[in-house]
Amino acid sequence: MTENLFYFLASLTLLCALMVVISKNPVHSVIFLIVTFFTISGHYILLNAQFLAAVNIIVYAGAIMVLFLFVIMFLNLGKNERDVKTSTLTKIAGTIAGGLLFVVMIAALKDAAIAPAVGPFNSQIGMVESLGKVLFTQYLLPFELASILFLVAMVGAVMLGKKEAGERHF
């Protein structure tokens, strides 16, 4: 059952990722990217990493995709960019670059071996409770430093985006 679900999610992930690249409409491309993120979250759930699945859905499928859709709507790419013709040289260069990337991937994975799992199996390894215990005991200082960094970044973004009283935007 789990193996069939994995193969279904893997094929759906690859199909949607391919459709992100092939799709001519940018809004359709973003929708395929959202489906790709959801299927990757399904893979995380199969790997017993529920926290990563939830973070992937919240951050990527939620916030990042909303940002992408707003940028596409503001740029109005749906109507003007359909008439753009790509030259033959561009198509040849893209095909060569993709082929070289494929050759490099095959060369890198040629000698890769799957190592067996070492140690006893722990079913609680990807759960939120065990992650929280490690995060707030062993990694407390880096966690707090990262939160201070995010707070400073948010304050800086608000200050940069703040409109001055006499300033005019056209």
Per-residue pLDDT of 130-153, as tens digits, reads 878 888 899 999 889 988 998 888
- Per-residue pLDDT for 81 more than 60? no
Using a cut of 0.75, tell me whether the model's pTM lies above it.
Answer: no
Domain layout of the chain by residue ranges: 1-77, 127-162
The pLDDT value recorded for residue 154 is: 85
Give burial (CB, 10 Å; 0-12/13-18/19+) of 77. Answer: middle
Mean pLDDT of the chain: 83
Range of lowest pLDDT (32-41, 64-73, 92-101, 112-121): 112-121
* DSSP characters over 87-142: PHHHHHHHHHHHHHHHHHHHHHHHT--PPPP-S---TTTTSHHHHHHHHHHTTHHH
Instruction: Give the pLDDT confidence of 82-126 residue by residue, as tens digits.
Output: 555 778 898 899 899 999 999 999 988 888 777 776 667 666 666
CATH topology of domain 1-77: Four Helix Bundle (Hemerythrin (Met), subunit A) (1.20.120)
